[in-house]
Amino acid sequence: MSGAPDEFDLIAQLFAPLSASYPGAFNLTDDAALMDVPPGRQVVLTMDAMVAGVHFFADDPADLIARKLVRVNLSDLAAKGAVPFAVMLAAAFPQGIEAEWLRAFADGLGQDVAEFSIALIGGDTVSTPGPLTLSLTAFGHVPTGRALLRSGARAGDLIWLSGSLGDSALGLRARQGQLTDLNPLHRDFLIHRYLLPQPRVALGPALIGVASAGMDISDGLVQDLGHLARQSGLAAEIRLADLPLSVAARTATENNNSWLACILGGGDDYEIAFTADPAQTQRIRQLADDSGVALSAIGQMTAGQGVAVMDRQGKAMEVAQRGWRHFSNAGEQP
């Protein structure tokens, strides 16, 4: 090895400390990592990719890009009931990327590695003539055989949702200069929810033994419940009046009712939707109190198929926007 430090050396310097808590990562000096799994536990794996100009704005702050990438993946693990412990990062950085940007990116990554008690255990860094392209593989563990799957719901189960719905989809619109009739503090709240989702990492593992099925609603409530319903061989019926909206989102819909479609189908919400036997209701309310995460019963699983949204009069609504599909709708976002 010879020559002046270059971007690779800088990245190695910046990333190596993020692996320190994980001996099997060898300080990122080997070309592979070793992973041990605690007895009685299974590994839960997920992998999400993000592209500048498609999933985030190229000029979003570098630390927040890194943190959103981590959080989007940890949200998937939480929805399975898994305790996260490690991530691997593949990053294609645009040619000529600046050291300052890389430092901020590594800082953001480090912040979330610390906040969620995980380690960066490996990955790959390459150069691209195209936009910044990131993919993260995230690892968690669950008691063997107990993970929350999409397929576990039973007819009669209640449908629950964590947190509030639609903030991120509205935050994106606010970021794009829409929703100007909102209070600036409400706009800031929505934009923050868009930029820095809060994965429900404490709630997820607590749902094991309580929930019958779970997933995060990253692609939009209606579309994602559709997946859960189909995998469980059932239909899902949700009630508009019971959907948990933040004050900001509620104000937006009061100002202009057309934002409702965006809330129902918008996606990029990293909240957990789960189903549970009605007999679990008391325990779930207790979980909400314990975790400080609001949990709202928003509907019920029934025989049949598809997702129905009932309006305040109990009539099935037409839901036009069925969710965010990154691929074919790529032109829509940023």
Annotated binding-site members: 31, 46, 48, 55, 76, 123-124, 150, 216, 218-219, 268, 324
Pairing mode, if any, of strands 272-276 and 213-216?
A: antiparallel
Candidates 83, 215, 276, 295; binder of its own copies (CB under 8 A) is 215
Which residue, 131, 110, 134, 108, is CA-closest to 123? 134
Q: How many CA atoms lie within 13 A of 11 on its CB side?
A: 20
| Using rule CB under 8 A, residue 53 touches its own copies | yes
| Using rule CB under 8 A, residue 150 touches its own copies | yes
| Using rule CB under 8 A, residue 54 touches its own copies | yes
Q: Which positions make up the binding site for substrate? A: 55, 268, 324
- Listed in order, strand segments (DSSP E) in 234-279 are 235-239, 272-276
Candidates 19, 22, 28, 50; binder of its own copies (CB under 8 A) is 50
Candidates 76, 167, 269, 271; binder of its own copies (CB under 8 A) is 76
Dist. CA 78–CA 201, nearest whole Å: 5
| Using rule CB under 8 A, residue 32 touches its own copies | yes
Residues numbered 122-141 forming contacts with its own copies, rule: CB under 8 A: 122-131, 133, 135, 137
CB of 139 to its own copies, least distance (A): 9
Dist. CA 18–CA 120, nearest whole Å: 5
| Using rule CB under 8 A, residue 60 touches its own copies | no
Which residue, 240, 25, 3, 256, is CA-closest to 120? 25
Residues numbered 217-246 forming contacts with its own copies, rule: CB under 8 A: 218, 223, 226-227, 230-231
| Using rule CB under 8 A, residue 80 touches its own copies | yes
Nearer to its own copies, 233 or 250 (CB): 233
| Using rule CB under 8 A, residue 118 touches its own copies | no
Residues ≥6 apart with Cβ < 8 Å to 328:
none
Tokens of 47: 């992998």
Neighbours of 140 (CB within 10 A): 27
| Using rule CB under 8 A, residue 208 touches its own copies | no
